Structure 1
Amino acid sequence: MPAPERRIFDSPCKSVCRIDERVGWCIGCKRTRAEIKAWSTASSSEKRDILARLPGRAAAEPELLAGGGS
């Protein structure tokens, strides 16, 4: 069964909540500290912008952690 579609006000939090300093974002949800802090007061447009950045971070993370981004 496919996962339900995410609504814009749903947090992308995965309950991992650990910032990896090598990449600068949470290893669970891929948000930065600033994005996590701003989430509860962010507008729908700001949330869409944050959510749009997450797939690119997830795709880049293995290379960055392997040292390819330095």
Structure 2
Amino acid sequence: MSKETPCVAVCMIDPGTKLCFGCGRTLPEIARWHAMESADRLAVMALLPARMTEAGLAPIAASPKPT
């Protein structure tokens, strides 16, 4: 995954918070991610840890790549 994406390939939306269990983004954020400017993506990514903590969701670590 690119350094400018929080995606950890766990793409499931929490029905209560409407946030992705894997990365903490909303569906609208995910949908427009590739059209966003780099600065906008980085700004959203800076919010995600606090957003997930506030929502009571534990961040899921990315799976290690096979070697």
Give TM-score, length-normalised by structure 2. 0.71
Q: Does 1:17 align with 2:11?
A: yes
What letter is aligned with 1:54?
L
Identity of aligned residues (%): 34
Q: CA RMSD in A?
A: 1.8
Q: Which has the larger radius of gyration?
A: 1
Identify the match of residue 32 of structure 1 among 17, 23, 26. 26
Counterpart contact for 2:5–2:45, Cα < 8 Å: no
Find runs of 4+ consecutive structure 1 residues off by over 3 angstroms.
Answer: none
Q: Which runs of 5+ in 1 are unaligned?
A: 1-5, 64-70
Work out the number of aligned pairs and report it. 56
Q: Which runs of 5+ in 2 are unaligned?
A: 58-67
